[in-house]
Amino acid sequence: MEHKKVMELDELLPIESKMKDVKIKLDDTTLRDGEQTAGVVFTNDEKIKIARMLDKLGVEQIEAGIPVMGGDEREVIEQIANMGLKASILGWNRASISDIQTSLDCGCDAVAISLATSDIHIKTKLQKDRAWVLNSIRESVAFAKSNGVYVSVNAEDASRTDFGFLIEYAKAAQAEGADRIRFCDTIGAMEPFRMYQVVKALIEETGLEVEMHTHNDFGMAVANALAGIHAGATWVNVTVGGLGERAGNAALDEVVMALKYLEGVDLGTDTTIFHEVTDFVMRAAGRTIPAWKPIVGSNIFAHESGIHADGVLKNPKTYEIFPPDEVGLERQIVVGKHSGSKTIEMKLAEFGIFVSREDAAALLPTVRSKAIEFNRSLFDKELVKIYKDFTEEREATSTSAS
């Protein structure tokens, strides 16, 4: 019986070729939305170090904070703006002349002007109306542009905004010279298929550059950011480790690696410091990197099951999509309940103990029962101890038998 031919991998990734020539730019908001996370405060020294690391990674823009908050916040933004970094330094503002003036005073070369566009935000939070929103954005953008800075116009809660009004808002900002519009999925209420359609229509209607700002409330921040990029968005707002309000934002490392390995778009980011940067930011935030976090979690290159470990030892590509050193991690073969005899052979060899395949197989039942008893995988020294007990017992048996 003849089988119908299924799609080739190339056909499964039709986007790759379309996206190759598009320049995607990263705007990192670890210092603004990341720090806005409930319970997170960075010291100014930490902020400066984070800004340097982001610049080293190669992000195009660093959203450094909210200048109008004043005090330490304003001081460090001014410092970051004057550090001579390659990245553009963006200050976050409400649609207010005095907010924007403070960003300008700090030396920011770019400003985000943020205004809510959904009726629920306009009516209940701002207690204004749509006409007020349009007037405010016109005035603010005109003021910022007359001062010669790059202007990102943020549509807060864009996901729940009436589409016709979103276009009106974008066009009002565009008429005053806005450089891009940030589509904010403020509450993480989108899914990739709808995101694609809305962003595509937004670009078709306005021709404006679009930036994706996505939240992870349903675990779709990265997927939604990619959907927006497929639709033609050219900027992505990310945070280190996905830090951000509630469930967080799209993670910098995940967006970069997904673009590279799933879409064939290499942003030229220095990914080798991803683990170092994420670890630093998480510590500064009083958090830890979850073991299972995509890209830089401690488990991403850890293999325990016999079949997986055997495959990886023969050819890492069997179970790894990219090599660990590309993100600053190391491969780990873990000995535990699911290990096979080859793993045991290989692990013991690391300690200069060379066992036969038969002996490795004979050790397996003890390895498994210990892992079950301890309710975890085994430390290397525990495996060595199991081996020593095994050989001692064998010697004792052979001595008594002779």
Residue closer to Mn ion by CB (options 33, 46) is 33
Site track 17-56 with Mn ion (rule: CB under 5 A), x = hit: ----------------x-----------------------
CB 296 within 8 A of CB 328: yes
Interatomic CA distance for residues 353 and 270, integer angstroms:
39
Least CB distance to Mn ion at residue 63 (A): 10
Residue closer to Mn ion by CB (options 215, 347) is 215
Least CB distance to Mn ion at residue 34 (A): 10
Least CB distance to Mn ion at residue 32 (A): 9
CB 175 within 8 A of CB 169: no
Interatomic CA distance for residues 202 and 215, integer angstroms:
19
How many residues touch Mn ion (CB under 5 A)?
A: 1
Residue closer to Mn ion by CB (options 220, 371) is 220
Least CB distance to Mn ion at residue 330 (A): 34
Residue closer to Mn ion by CB (options 61, 339) is 61
Q: Is 38 left (phi over 0), alpha (psi -120 to 50) or beta?
A: beta
Least CB distance to Mn ion at residue 310 (A): 44
Which tokens belong to 363? 């050790």
Residue closer to Mn ion by CB (options 33, 176) is 33
Residue closer to Mn ion by CB (options 33, 73) is 33
Angle CA(360)–CA(364)–CA(368) in degrees, nearest 5?
A: 155
| 168 backbone dihedrals φ, ψ, rounded to 5° | -60, -45
Among the listed residues 77, 181, 162, 180, the one whose alpha carbon sits nearest the alpha carbon of residue 120: 162
Question: What does the DSSP 8-state code read for residue 126?
Answer: I
Could you say which residues in the range 353-392 bind Mn ion, by CB under 5 A? none
Closest residue to Mn ion, based on beta-carbon distance:
33
Least CB distance to Mn ion at residue 264 (A): 29
Residue 63 engages Mn ion in binding (rule: CB under 5 A) = no
For 11, counting Cβ atoms within 10 Å of its Cβ (0-12 exposed, 13-18 middle, 19+ buried), the class is: exposed
Residues that bind Mn ion (CB under 5 A): 33
